[in-house]
Every structure is written in C-alpha cells, then in structure tokens.
Structure 1
Amino acid sequence: MDTEDLLEQGSRALDNGDYRAANGFLSKAVTLQPSAEAWHLLAEAQIGEGQLKQAYKSLSAGLALAEDDIDLLFSLGDLYLEENRNAEALTTYQKIIDLDPGEIDAWVSKAMAYVNVDDLEAAEQTCRQALEIAPDSAFALNALGDICVNLGRIDEALSCFQQAGEIDPEDPQPLLSLADLYYEREDLEQAEQYCLKGLKLDAGLPGGYLTLGYICLDQDRTQEAVDHFQQFLRLEQSPAAKQLREEVAAVIDGLK
C-alpha cells in the first residue's frame, strides 16, 4: 500500500470514528512520506484515541513542514484550549488571525481562552471584533451570549442566543445555551424544551444530557435524571471535564 492509499484509508477510518485503525494507517504514511497533511490527520487520530502527547508531537512535525498551515494551527490551538493551556492557545489563535483576519473561528476561540483566564473584558472585545467582521456569525453570537451570562447581563445573553439560533437553525448550541439560561432562571419547562430541541439536532452533545439530568432531578424524576447523567458520562471524555465527571458520578451514586 503506497502513501496515497494509506492517507485515503486513514481518512476514511477517521470519518468512521475508527481512530485506532486511522492511527495505524497514518503512522505508516508519515513514515513513508512525511507531509503536513499526513501529520495533521495522524494528530486527529491520536487525539481521538486520547494520545495527546503524541498529538502535540505530530502537530509540531507538521508545522515544521508548513509553519503557516492554518488547519494545523487550529488543531494545535484547540488542543491547547482543551487542556487549559490558555496562554499557548491565545498565541496560536493570534497567529491564525495574523495570517487571515477573516478566520472568525480563531477570534471566537481566542475569546474563549480569555474566558478561561477570567479576562471577560478582553473576551467580550474579541467577540465584538469577530462580529464586526462577520455580523451573522452564530458561533460568535453564541460565545458573546456566554460572556454576557458571566457578566450578569442576562437579557443581552438571551438576545445573543436567540439571534444565533435564528441565523443557524441547524446549530444545536444556541438551543442548549438557551436551555442553560432558562434552567438558571428556574423555568424548567422552557429549559427542557430547548434541551430536547438541541439534542434532536445532535444527540452526541454531552452538555445537553447534563442539563436534562438536573432538570429531571429538580422535578424528582430520579430515574430519568440518572439516565441522563449516565449518558453525559458516556459522551464527555474531555480531560478538562475530569472534575465535572467526578461530580456527576458522585450525584449518581447519591441517587442510587
């Protein structure tokens, strides 16, 4: 099997979520003929398998071949963000912005890194810069809504989430953000409706099941709450969510 075949097989395995097989094909591909594309795909497979140290090495190897490759930089920035290495994430997203100021996702991800270090002023400013470039970015509006929630500006947050949902009705995130907001307002009926709508669009989002679990818990629907919490634990595998997973597991134990 030549390099082209290995890349094709590895890409197909990635698309199917078979990270182990993808890792095997792509490891062979970078051995035969290293390229930025091959290293990037291998890093995706390694991230899927939870091999984060190896993924950093693969991304670094790819960037050594193509230092301005935006796809590689995004993967690196997202990995930094996932692991709460926020200073490195900020630097990486800024490099993407310097290369292409129109990369709205880089602006928004940079804002999220600022949120992680509790610099809400910088986070808001960065989101608003993104919206100046792309006023119809649902991603930026949803992020701005999250920032407004943290700043206690609930009505503005509600408006941001609603706008985001209108711009992209197929995006479940604004719906789940509205669910969280209504849950905080103790409007459990509205919160549950938005949760179910969001999960209908994407049943693989762990945050929706977490919110549903607490909604059911508050309504003494104990078994439903346990089921939703268990689904959250099945889906949420992020290293950054370790403490949250432990808290949810403790809640389940307390309900049994």
Structure 2
Amino acid sequence: MNLGIILTNLNRPDEAEECYLKAINYRNKYPDCYYNLGNCYYNLGNLYLDLKRNDEALRAWEKAVQYKPTHIAAWSNTLVLLDSLQFYQKVLDLGNVALMHNPKSPALHFSIANTLGKLHQFDKAEKHFLEALNFKPDNAVYYSNLGVLYHRWGKLDMAREMYKKALQLDPTIKTTKQNLKKLLNAQRNNTHKSK
C-alpha cells in the first residue's frame, strides 16, 4: 500500500493501482486486517478519482467503509463526488448512514448541509452547518458556506455576520470576500432606492 502511495505521488497511476490491488489481495487473507483494507480501498479510490474514473472511485470508497465504517475521509469523498455529479438524494441517503457511524464528524455534516442547501431545504441545511461548526468552530469555510445559505435564504444580516466571521478566521478566502461585497452593495442599493 505504501508503495502505491509513493507511485501515485510520482504520477505512475498504473503501477500504483497494481500495488493497491496486490495489497488488497494479500490483506484479504488476514481477518484482523480490516482497518488496513479500508485504507487500501480509500487510496485506490483516490487514485481512480485522479484518473477521472468516478464509478471505480465510488466502488473503492464503498469497500473502504465496508471494512472500516468510521473511515470519515472515504465517506466524505463519496459525498463530495456524488454532490458534484448532482446525485443529491444519494448524498442524503449515504450521508445519514455515514452519520450513524460518525455522528460527530464535522466534514460529514458539512457535506450534507451543502447538498440540502442546493435543494433549498434551508432549515435542515442550517442544522447540519451548525453541527459542523459545533464540532469545528474555527473552520472559515464552514462559516462562509453558512453565509451563502443565509444569503440564498434571504437572511441577509445573518449572511453578512457569517461572511465576516469566515474572513476573521481566514482573510484570504476570495469567494467570501466577493459574496460579502455583493451583499453589501445590494443592501446599499436597496437603501438608496427606499429613500
């Protein structure tokens, strides 16, 4: 498995895949190696993702969480990829399964929140964003995305507050700066129109 990781980093994907598959084959013979099997499948999934072999990546991560249901990174990668492919219901279904095994994972709550926001299920999305922040209160991206949710929801004062909090934590997030600027400009324009 370690050789597969090195070969992946050296941009030798065919050899890396061969190493991961060998590691999986050897590990299968030992019943106490489920933890490492989960990692092998996780790394193989990442390799497939880099190669744009999305279906194989999803299958590998599915195997990873079969062997290690607490493998948050495999769950998270699965949810992010499914979301990017617009399989929103799959994200929500698998996200709930993932949370049964990892209820305190901010990354999982964050992924579910983003998907719910895209589906305009603002109340549910807010709940998951707040859970993510409860477990990781110093994450600027979580605040920024909660700001986007409030912005879409029409809760502009709360959106502004979240954007500012995100920028306090990480002043380099360009999209947050742009969103805050758009929000402030829109509020100024509305103030001028009402006068």
TM-score tier after normalising by the smaller chain length? 0.7 to 0.9
**AA aligned opposite 2:95:** C
Give deviations 1:143-191, integer Å, cap 9, x for gaps: 1101111221011101110111011213333212212213334556544
Corresponding residue number in structure 1 for 2:135: 167
Cα deviation, residue 99, structure 1: 1.8
Corresponding residue number in structure 1 for 2:193: none
Corresponding residue number in structure 2 for 1:123: 91
Cα deviation, residue 201, structure 1: 4.2
**AA aligned opposite 1:125:** D
Q: CA RMSD for the aligned pairs?
A: 2.9
216 and 141 in structure 1: CA distance in 2 versus 1, 3 angstrom threshold? same
Corresponding residue number in structure 1 for 2:23: 66
Corresponding residue number in structure 1 for 2:150: 182
Give deviations 1:82-125, integer Å, cap 9, x for gaps: 66543122111111012212223322322223223322222101
Cα deviation, residue 199, structure 1: 4.9
Q: Does 1:40 align with 2:8?
A: no
Corresponding residue number in structure 1 for 2:190: none
Q: Does 1:77 align with 2:77?
A: no
For residues 200 and 83 of structure 1, the distance between their equivalents in structure 2, rounded to whole angstroms, comes to 37
* 8 A contact 2:160–2:183 mirrored in 1: no
Q: Which of residues 5, 14, 21 is equivalent to 1:57?
A: 14
SS in 2 for 1:163: helix
Q: Which of residues 166, 180, 183 is equivalent to 1:215?
A: 180
What is the aligned length?
A: 175
Cα deviation, residue 38, structure 1: 3.8
* 8 A contact 1:86–1:116 mirrored in 2: no
For residues 53 and 3 of structure 2, the distance between their equivalents in structure 1, rounded to whole angstroms, comes to 25
Structure 1: runs of 5 or more not aligned:
1-35, 47-53, 221-256
Tell me: higher relative CO, structure 1 or 2? Use CA pairs within 8 A at least 6 residues apart: 2
100 and 124 in structure 1: CA distance in 2 versus 1, 3 angstrom threshold? same
For residues 6 and 157 of structure 2, the distance between their equivalents in structure 1, rounded to whole angstroms, comes to 43
Cα deviation, residue 137, structure 1: 1.3
Corresponding residue number in structure 2 for 1:94: 62
Give deviations 1:189-245, integer Å, cap 9, x for gaps: 5445434533554567xxx3123224325545xxxxxxxxxxxxxxxxxxxxxxxxx
For residues 193 and 170 of structure 1, the distance between their equivalents in structure 2, rounded to whole angstroms, comes to 15
Give deviations 1:17-74, integer Å, cap 9, x for gaps: xxxxxxxxxxxxxxxxxxx324413423x4xxxxxxx252353143144126544533
SS in 2 for 1:144: helix
**AA aligned opposite 2:17:** S
Which structure 1 residue ranges, 4+ long, deviate > 6 Å from structure 2? Answer: none
Q: 57-66 or 192-201, which moves further after superposition?
A: 192-201
Q: Percent identity?
A: 21
